[in-house]
A and B are shown apart, each in its own frame.
Chain A
Amino acid sequence: MNRIISKKQLSADVFMMRVEAPLIASERRPGQFVIIQLDTNYGERIPLTIANADPREGSITIIFQAVGNTTQRLAALNEGEFIENLVGPLGRPTHIEKFGTVVCVGGGIGVAPLYPIVQGMQQAGNRLLVIMGARNKSLLILENEMRALADELIVCTDDGSYGRKALVTAPLKELCERNPKPNLAVAIGPPIMMKFCAETTRPFGVPTVVSLNTIMVDGTGMCGGCRVTVGGKTRFVCVDGPEFDGHQVDFDNMMKRLKAYKQQEDHARDQCRLEMEIAKQTERSQKSEAMDQQAKIRSE
């Protein structure tokens, strides 16, 4: 049982929570993640990013997009309520050292796992060029936090509602064209974005690390549901990753695997929305009934 210390809505469907987890807070390193489950008997287990941690407070910060069954339920929880099961930190930490100039690219919610990596890379003395992208302005997260760490920050949106109207690959290419070129690129975001980031850096020979978020059950290597093809070999995201050489990852296969349960997930998500809507309406009607009753009592 892990208590939710605070909750903040960052955009239409993106939430940030600070959650009590003292051991994870002190052990976690950039690049690692947690798995949560909201109901011990019937809940599903899903991996979530650790966006930050405060070992003194004994808390971790998670950022998630309420798009599926569990994330919508999680978003409905409030401060003081509990996450029934939370385990971590899982996965291998990011390899951090002084590389020189590091380009960090975050797309959408991918900015959340990128943030601790940027922190780590900055502390290791790297020069940091950060590219952040989102579909539109309202979906941008952690801009100020990134600005505080980055030597250069480029923000782009698909629709041009904020920053530069571009996909993240456009500024990435420009940075690779500079002389000297960056020593390392880190790209985290939707699989299609990571794929094209890797394609962008490939001709320049800039080593590119990507962080994969696949379907998982246990997160400790036991089930193999998270496996991906990297350099022609089968690797497990939970114990071999989540970070891999972006130039070696078979993104097409990974994207197909992510859709394995799409039909059932869509159904569960819609069902969940419906249930939560009904719950809200019942609450509302109960409230208005109670108000009616109070009014009645008063008038009597």
Chain B
Amino acid sequence: MNKHPTKEELSAAAIRKLEELNKLPQPLKPKDRLQIPAQEMPSQDPVERRGNVREVALGYSAEQAKLEALRCLQCKNMPCVAGCPVRIDIPGFVSAIAQGDFQKAIDIIKRNSLLPAVCGRVCPQETQCQAPCTVGKSLRDVGKAVSIGRLERFVADWEREHGKVETPQIKSPTGKKVAVIGSGPASITVAADVRREGHAVIMFEAFHKPGGVLMYGIPEFRLPKKIVQLEIDTLKAMGVEVKTNFVVGRTRHLKDLLDKDGFEAVFIGTGAGLPKFMNIEGENLVGVFSANEYLTRANLMRAYDREHAQTPIYHSRKVAVLGGGNVAMDSARMAVRLGAAEVHLVYRRTEVEMPARVEEVAHAKEEGVIFHILQNAKRIIGNEQGCVTGMECLKYQLGEPDESGRRRPVEIKGSEFMMEVDTVICAIGNDSNPLIKQTTEGLATTKWGNIIVDENGKTSLDRVYAGGDIVLGAATVILAMGEGRRAAAAINQMLAEK
């Protein structure tokens, strides 16, 4: 009857199953492994969580983790590793979990990934490591692949909750100084990797709190801020200096960091950060927001905490969110939590083409977000006070595939209809932030404003490197981390040769 078994129920079921498996001849045969039920992620009840910002996914118990790990077939060709942007030894850490050696598991992950507690929560595993998983393929359902991400999260949480997070060893000081601009996932990675080599690292953040998109963008209910804070605290414990309220390009020019302030190298990890709007009539009406603004108010400025927060957030009754990515889901689910009576998600393709993670789409639906596929806003309509009162939409159908490989949405002429809403949130992506480009002569960028780098993450300027969304356009935490690793290695090598 219970659509949402509790964490305790799931754990109890896992204990029973483990006992059954122990009676089978060891090691388990692939056939037995394939029969182990995929472990469901315990989660907060959908009705209850509509009214709070606490984390939705509660994490596996040790027994659930072991059971899920036992599903892994330990394939020799390791298709999962090929699917991981930072090539974590996935069979290795999963096998350690199956044996109950959680310390070994986290150690294996940390050889390649710096942010397992973050990536275990926000990586799109179903399109990366879990997509080619043999278990999923055998069961003909990618949703039944080994839940590598949940296992990663489990050991990362285990390490943190058991107070086993150690500050990495730092080599003796080299007397060299590196500037890291931004404090999101790419910058965190570079700061850690460069600092480990004994170089001084100063991280510059424009906001009053470090963490970048992990702080302002991804909501508490998906990524608790104390986890991000811990990553920052670890950097500080390593001796990385974090300067908040510092906008490189404005407070100080990038070239001054190199020429006047004694930095030997600079890494630019400033992220995407310039919201796109639809270019339609009415988008500057009161009640139209970029997802960045809506989420920043809610997350970083804590507007969800109406008792304490001084930053206001719009009081909405009926909200329309435009877009189909994770940011659209985050915005819609945040609007639910902020008390909107109805939240509509409007996307011009179908659910198959949605870039959002399957889990986020499912969570949004459970929380009551109403999905409108093959529809898009044509214009936004307001009243005399300039406030949104509605949105005229158009219906679409799918045509031929476009350059992204997804079928192109084609508008159906004459299909206009009205949607009564008081708030519209645009979650259709970001362009690159122009600040550093505008203020740094000679920094080569693409026509979209993304910084051009070589295979080592080096820009057109000497000693200046870049990575993350400012290079890739809007991408993922793990890709940003991968880029950061690459750039950090190049910076370390350059400094060693100097």
Chain A interface residues toward B at CB < 8 A:
23-24, 27, 37, 39-45, 69-70, 84-90, 217-218, 220-225, 227-229, 234, 239, 250, 252-253, 256-257, 259-261, 263-265, 268
Let me know if B301 and A222 touch, CB within 8 A.
no
Q: Which of B286, B387, B434 has the most CB of A within 10 A?
A: B286
Give every chain A residue within 8 A of B208 (Cβ-Cβ). 37, 40, 45, 84-85, 87
In the complex formed, the residue of A with least CB distance to B311 is A44
Let me know if A256 and B286 touch, CB within 8 A.
yes
Indicate whether A39 sits within 8 Å of B297 (C-beta atoms), given known contacts A89-B251, A220-B435, A224-B277: no
- The answer to whether B168 has its CB under 8 Å from any CB of chain A is no
Give every chain B residue within 8 A of A87 (Cβ-Cβ). 206, 208, 245-247, 251
**A70 to B: closest C-beta gap in Å:** 7
Give every chain B residue within 8 A of A261 (Cβ-Cβ). 312, 314
Indicate whether A225 sits within 8 Å of B435 (C-beta atoms), given known contacts A24-B251, A39-B310, A41-B302: no
Range for the number of chain B residues in contact with chain A: 35 or more
Let me know if A40 and B246 touch, CB within 8 A.
no
Let me know if A44 and B301 touch, CB within 8 A.
yes
Let me know if B273 and A221 touch, CB within 8 A.
yes
CB within 8 Å of A: which of B395-437?
A: 433-435
**A132 to B: closest C-beta gap in Å:** 29
Let me know if B273 and A222 touch, CB within 8 A.
yes
Indicate whether A222 sits within 8 Å of B292 (C-beta atoms), given known contacts A239-B435, A256-B385: yes
Give every chain B residue within 8 A of A218 (Cβ-Cβ). 206-207, 216, 296
Let me know if B251 and A222 touch, CB within 8 A.
no
> What are 16 residue pairs bridging A and B, where the CB atoms are less than 8 Å apart in the complex?
A23-B252, A27-B251, A41-B308, A42-B308, A86-B245, A220-B206, A220-B250, A222-B273, A222-B274, A223-B290, A225-B289, A227-B284, A256-B286, A256-B385, A260-B286, A260-B314
Indicate whether A89 sits within 8 Å of B209 (C-beta atoms), given known contacts A45-B311, A69-B310, A222-B292: no
**A21 to B: closest C-beta gap in Å:** 9
In the complex formed, the residue of B with least CB distance to A227 is B284
**B295 to A: closest C-beta gap in Å:** 9
- The answer to whether B275 has its CB under 8 Å from any CB of chain A is yes
Write the B275-298 contact mask toward A (1 if CB under 8 angstroms, else 0): 101010001111101101100110
Q: How far is the CA of A253 from the CA of B382 in the complex (A)?
A: 11
In the complex formed, the residue of A with least CB distance to B272 is A222
- The answer to whether B103 has its CB under 8 Å from any CB of chain A is no
- The answer to whether B92 has its CB under 8 Å from any CB of chain A is no
Let me know if B252 and A228 touch, CB within 8 A.
no
In the complex formed, the residue of A with least CB distance to B309 is A42
Q: How far is the CA of A23 from the CA of B261 in the complex (A)?
A: 12
- The answer to whether B107 has its CB under 8 Å from any CB of chain A is no
Q: How far is the CA of A178 from the CA of B273 in the complex (A)?
A: 47
Let me know if A223 and B284 touch, CB within 8 A.
no
Indicate whether A228 sits within 8 Å of B435 (C-beta atoms), given known contacts A85-B244, A218-B206: no
Q: How far is the CA of A260 from the CA of B385 in the complex (A)?
A: 10
- The answer to whether B305 has its CB under 8 Å from any CB of chain A is yes
Q: How far is the CA of A48 from the CA of B119 in the complex (A)?
A: 38
Q: Is the interface of B mostly helix, strand, loop or mixed?
A: loop
Indicate whether A253 sits within 8 Å of B386 (C-beta atoms), given known contacts A221-B433, A222-B292, A223-B293: yes
Q: Find B284's partner among A84, A217, A229 (CB 8 Å cutoff).
A: A229
**A24 to B: closest C-beta gap in Å:** 7
Let me know if B250 and A27 touch, CB within 8 A.
yes
Give every chain A residue within 8 A of B287 (Cβ-Cβ). 260
Let me know if A223 and B275 touch, CB within 8 A.
yes
Write the B237-258 contact mask toward A (1 if CB under 8 angstroms, else 0): 0000000111100111000000
**B228 to A: closest C-beta gap in Å:** 15
In the complex formed, the residue of B with least CB distance to A252 is B386
**B332 to A: closest C-beta gap in Å:** 18
Q: How far is the CA of A260 from the CA of B296 in the complex (A)?
A: 17
Q: How far is the CA of A122 from the CA of B310 in the complex (A)?
A: 40
Beyond A23-B252, A224-B292, 15 additional pairs, beta carbon < 8 A: A41-B308, A42-B310, A43-B310, A45-B208, A45-B311, A69-B310, A85-B245, A88-B251, A90-B250, A217-B297, A220-B435, A221-B435, A224-B289, A224-B290, A227-B284
Let me know if B286 and A259 touch, CB within 8 A.
yes
Let me know if B284 and A228 touch, CB within 8 A.
yes
Q: How far is the CA of A225 from the CA of B290 in the complex (A)?
A: 8
Give every chain B residue within 8 A of A250 (Cβ-Cβ). 284
**A234 to B: closest C-beta gap in Å:** 6
Give every chain B residue within 8 A of A90 (Cβ-Cβ). 247, 250
Give every chain A residue within 8 A of B293 (Cβ-Cβ). 217, 223-225
Indicate whether A223 sits within 8 Å of B310 (C-beta atoms), given known contacts A41-B302, A259-B286: no
In the complex formed, the residue of A with least CB distance to B286 is A260
In the complex formed, the residue of B with least CB distance to A240 is B434
**A55 to B: closest C-beta gap in Å:** 14
Let me know if B433 and A220 touch, CB within 8 A.
yes
Q: How far is the CA of A58 from the CA of B208 in the complex (A)?
A: 21
Let me know if B305 and A42 touch, CB within 8 A.
yes
**A184 to B: closest C-beta gap in Å:** 24
Give every chain A residue within 8 A of B285 (Cβ-Cβ). 253, 256
Q: How far is the CA of A90 from the CA of B435 in the complex (A)?
A: 10
Indicate whether A223 sits within 8 Å of B296 (C-beta atoms), given known contacts A42-B308, A42-B309, A257-B284: yes
Give every chain B residue within 8 A of A85 (Cβ-Cβ). 208, 244-245
Let me know if B251 and A217 touch, CB within 8 A.
no
Q: How far is the CA of A37 from the CA of B301 in the complex (A)?
A: 11
Give every chain B residue within 8 A of A39 (Cβ-Cβ). 310
CB within 8 Å of A: which of B424-467?
A: 433-435
Indicate whether A222 sits within 8 Å of B386 (C-beta atoms), given known contacts A27-B250, A88-B251, A89-B250: no
Give every chain A residue within 8 A of B250 (Cβ-Cβ). 27, 88-90, 220
Q: How far is the CA of A263 from the CA of B387 in the complex (A)?
A: 14
Indicate whether A234 sits within 8 Å of B277 (C-beta atoms), given known contacts A44-B301, A85-B245, A220-B247: yes
Q: How far is the CA of A39 from the CA of B308 in the complex (A)?
A: 11
Q: Which of A70, A87, A234 has the most CB of B within 10 A?
A: A87
Give every chain B residue within 8 A of A223 (Cβ-Cβ). 275, 290, 292-293, 296
Q: How far is the CA of A268 from the CA of B313 in the complex (A)?
A: 12
**A53 to B: closest C-beta gap in Å:** 13
In the complex formed, the residue of A with least CB distance to B293 is A223
Sorted from nearest, which 3 A-B pairs have the closest CB atoms? Answer: A256-B386, A223-B293, A264-B312
Q: How far is the CA of A221 from the CA of B301 in the complex (A)?
A: 17
**A281 to B: closest C-beta gap in Å:** 22
Let me know if B273 and A224 touch, CB within 8 A.
no
Let me know if B433 and A222 touch, CB within 8 A.
yes
**B171 to A: closest C-beta gap in Å:** 31
Q: Which of A39, A40, A88, A223 has the most CB of B within 10 A?
A: A223
**A60 to B: closest C-beta gap in Å:** 12
**B410 to A: closest C-beta gap in Å:** 26
Q: Which of B206, B252, B279 has the most CB of A within 10 A?
A: B206
In the complex formed, the residue of B with least CB distance to A26 is B252
Give every chain A residue within 8 A of B245 (Cβ-Cβ). 85-87
In the complex formed, the residue of A with least CB distance to B385 is A256
In the complex formed, the residue of B with least CB distance to A264 is B312
**B129 to A: closest C-beta gap in Å:** 31
Indicate whether A239 sits within 8 Å of B312 (C-beta atoms), given known contacts A217-B301, A228-B284: no
